[in-house]
Structure 1
Amino acid sequence: MSAAADFEQIDRDGRRTLAFSGDLALSRIGDLPKRLEGISGFDTIDLSKVGRLDTVGAWLVHRAAADNDAKVEGASEEATHLIDRVAAADKPVKMRPDRRGAFVLALDRMGAATIRTGQTMIGLLGFLGAIVMATGALIRNPRRFRGHATIQQFEVVGVDALAIVGLMSFLIGIVIAQQGAVQLRQFGAEVYTINLIGRLTIRELGVLMTAIMVAGRSGSAFAAQIGTMKLTEEVAALRTIGVSPVEALVLPRMIATTFLMPLLGFYAMIVAIFGGGLFCWVGLGIPPITFLQRINEVVPMTDLWVGLTKAPVFGAIIALSGCFQGMQVEGNSEQVGLRTTAAVVQAIFMVIVLDAFFAVFFTAIGWA
């Protein structure tokens, strides 16, 4: 049976020793802490007669030694290790952090954001390299291509998105026509509303708004799906059985989004023109035949090529961002939401940046 914790004071050659005995454990300490309150002036703590020592007992020994600058002797290896761990944790804790100036805090946040951005860009480049390597392996061995998964993603990214993309494009066409007509009416040039609708939807807004919609719809879904699979260790299971997660999960989504974005963009252009044409017919009295003839006259074919050239690049960026953020999920389910949000924000930001780059590039080569 374990003995209750106790102590005695011993004088040895002018040195005072505090000798503990019994079990220095929570269940056997009793009123020992209260009895130790008035004890001081000893040089050594002897633990040679101590049986069991837990964290509470180690804390009592550490505090007694620290308060009297005493040396601990006779402790076992396990007891010494526990006392050292308790001593390492005995540090003052600030209830409130140090106040920092607004300028220093702003610099700190800017620096942290810059570091995160750099790390994300490096991670995206590495992830893109993994996709290129997986694509090369797939080309060398076409039998590994997952056709059913790719077709399923074609349906999810493309077919299921037709309704929302069509509604959005139809309304955007009406808004462009209405706002353009209001401004041009001041100069008696309502007919040029057709020019505005045609060039703006075909060259810029048709593909750009479709990309934003796909980023919010499909990019977030990619991040959430892959992130959940990482939490449930399905991705690790794929690696265990020798299946590349990039080939099985990323490439079908990348292929589907890249190839379907031009089709969705073209579909959005047609629907937006239809919406603008409907407003011109009802609100401005311009017949559909006249509207289509005017569109054919004022919209150069280069505008269509510009829009369709940007579309697959936007699709690849959206899929890359969504899959990358999904692969970064780890720890807990909260990460799924955070990474999904990051995927949408990152994809939309990169799409807008690339759109600005394309605008400058096509103007430089004469496709203005």
Structure 2
Amino acid sequence: MEKSDAMDARAPLHHPTITLDGDGEALSANFAGAWTVATAGAAEQAVDALNSLPEPRRATKAPAMITFDLSQVVTADTAGAWIIHRERARAEFVGHRVALAGVGPRVEFLLAEIENHIPRLLDRPRRPYLAVRALMAIGESAANSGRDGVGLLSMLGLFGWRLATVFTAFRRLRITSILANFDRACRGAVPIVMLMSFLVGLIIAQQAGFYLAAFGATIFVVDLSGVLILREIGVLLAAILVAGRSGSAFTAEIGSMRMREEVDALNVLGLDPVEVLVVPRLIALILALPVLAFLSDIAALLGAGLISWVSLGISPDIFIQRLNEIVTPLEFWVGIAKAPFMALIIGLVGCSEGLKVGGSSESLGRQTTSSVVKAIFLVIVVDGLFAIFFAALGI
């Protein structure tokens, strides 16, 4: 093959050039000059000589071996070495076998560094089958539920221990904090709890009257509404609203303190975070929820009495008389007895989720959402367990 110069022969000594020598099965590409960033434009013109090489897959007489001779390279930097590396990769991609010769220490080092920093294609892990993914999700959910259960039991034990410590040394009981949390959890929640309970009681009586009227048993709306509201609906509705209101507030408050490292500051000061942050909130919530449950019962019965009077023709005096005949104090106390246990569950979930918050606002939002969902779920579970327990006792 005739010798081909990429650059004019009168080019300066350090101008980058490529000269092709040889034919047949062997071809040599002689690199010469300075391959630096200053001569990168000329280097890009010089590599045009390599673009004229025939592709082995398309020409039967294409050389099987190309030698890049770098013995005449005067100097090189990263830009020049990158061009040489790129042309070598391009020649190998079309099917040539490329070997390097006459590589100086500097060029060899640069080429090695470029090779080490070439981005590698990441192997995409094979996704398991849908059934396997479903089983994995179920297993992870079960493991997470187990960890959450252990965490709640641990928080419950720690709360009991700190509460016993506080009552043995009464001066450590933070009365001001308890009253402040009681005010926010109880007085602040009265309007929304009573409004929602009033509407729910109204709906229960209206729907019950609609179906019982077909059997001529409209008066039994009082029986159904009274027992259902006092035993189940009043306390359950109050607990759900408190879980969404106060439980999320506990998580957000303690989580914000975690983000600002105030919890760590309490440890540095020698104060127990559970005693300072958790115990007052739980005591306040245990005292507040029975009060809210009582107010919820009153509001729901008012709603049921109003719709019975307006829609069903049951006057208030008949409603109250029938209510006194059917509903006993036991029905009321069965409902109220659930409130402290539900409050304890809500407080434990809210505080434990708050202590799990990391250093980001995303973590705070995630744990607050988790707190509300878990608290409402556990409140309904506790209500179901109480229903089974009272049924077993015949109450």
Tell me the TM-score normalised to structure 1 length: 0.79
> Alpha carbons of 1:132 and 1:91: their partners in 2 closer, same or farther (altered >3 Å)?
farther
Task: Look up the equivalent residue of 1:291 and give its one-letter code.
Answer: F
Structure 2 residues not aligned, in runs of 5+: 1-33, 37-69, 71-75, 89-97
Q: Once the two structures are aligned, what percentage of the paired residues are identical?
A: 41
1:200 pairs, out of 217, 228, 231, with 228
2:330 is the counterpart of 1:302:
yes
Cross-structure match for 2:122: 93
Q: Give the secondary structure class of the aligned counterpart of 1:340.
A: helix
**Preserved CA contact (<8 Å) 2:247 2:350:** yes
**Preserved CA contact (<8 Å) 1:33 1:60:** no
2:82 pairs, out of 11, 19, 33, with 33
Q: CA deviation at 1:92?
A: 4.0
2:143 pairs, out of 92, 99, 115, with 115
Cross-structure match for 2:22: none
Structure 1 residues not aligned, in runs of 5+: 7-17, 19-23, 51-56, 65-85
Q: CA deviation at 1:165?
A: 0.3
**Preserved CA contact (<8 Å) 2:82 2:114:** no
Q: CA deviation at 1:301?
A: 2.2
> Alpha carbons of 1:155 and 1:5: their partners in 2 closer, same or farther (altered >3 Å)?
farther
Tell me which moved more, 99-108 or 177-186. Answer: 99-108
Cross-structure match for 2:268: 240
**Whole-Å Cα distance in 2 between the matches of residues 36 and 98 of structure 1?**
33
2:321 is the counterpart of 1:293:
yes
**Whole-Å Cα distance in 2 between the matches of residues 101 and 61 of structure 1?**
41
Task: Look up the equivalent residue of 1:32 and give its one-letter code.
Answer: A
Q: CA deviation at 1:331?
A: 3.1
Tell me which moved more, 176-185 or 276-285. Answer: 276-285
**Whole-Å Cα distance in 1 between the matches of residues 35 and 336 of structure 2?**
82
Cross-structure match for 1:69: none
**Preserved CA contact (<8 Å) 2:174 2:280:** yes
> Alpha carbons of 1:61 and 1:240: their partners in 2 closer, same or farther (altered >3 Å)?
same
| Greater Cα radius of gyration, structure 1 or 2 | 2
Task: Look up the equivalent residue of 2:122 and give its one-letter code.
Answer: V
2:110 is the counterpart of 1:61:
no
Task: Look up the equivalent residue of 1:123 and give its one-letter code.
Answer: G
Q: CA deviation at 1:183?
A: 0.7
2:195 is the counterpart of 1:167:
yes
2:251 pairs, out of 223, 247, 253, with 223
2:200 is the counterpart of 1:177:
no
**Whole-Å Cα distance in 1 between the matches of residues 192 and 278 of structure 2?**
24
**Whole-Å Cα distance in 2 between the matches of residues 244 and 91 of structure 1?**
51
Structure 1 segment 204-215 matched on structure 2, within 5 A: 204-215=232-243
**Whole-Å Cα distance in 2 between the matches of residues 216 and 32 of structure 1?**
64
Tell me the TM-score normalised to structure 2 length: 0.74
**Whole-Å Cα distance in 1 between the matches of residues 371 and 320 of structure 2?**
39
Cross-structure match for 1:78: none
Cross-structure match for 1:130: 158
Cross-structure match for 2:183: 155
Structure 1 segment 67-86 matched on structure 2, within 5 A: none
**Preserved CA contact (<8 Å) 1:321 1:347:** yes
Cross-structure match for 1:342: 370
Q: Give the secondary structure class of the aligned counterpart of 2:219.
A: helix
Q: CA deviation at 1:5?
A: 11
Task: Look up the equivalent residue of 1:273 and give its one-letter code.
Answer: L
Cross-structure match for 2:281: 253
Give the CA RMSD over aligned residues. 3.0
Q: CA deviation at 1:137?
A: 2.0
Query: What CA deviation, in whole Å up to 9, does each residue of 1:59-114 have, x standing for no partner?
Result: 943837xxxxxxxxxxxxxxxxxxxxx79xx76414x5524322112111111111
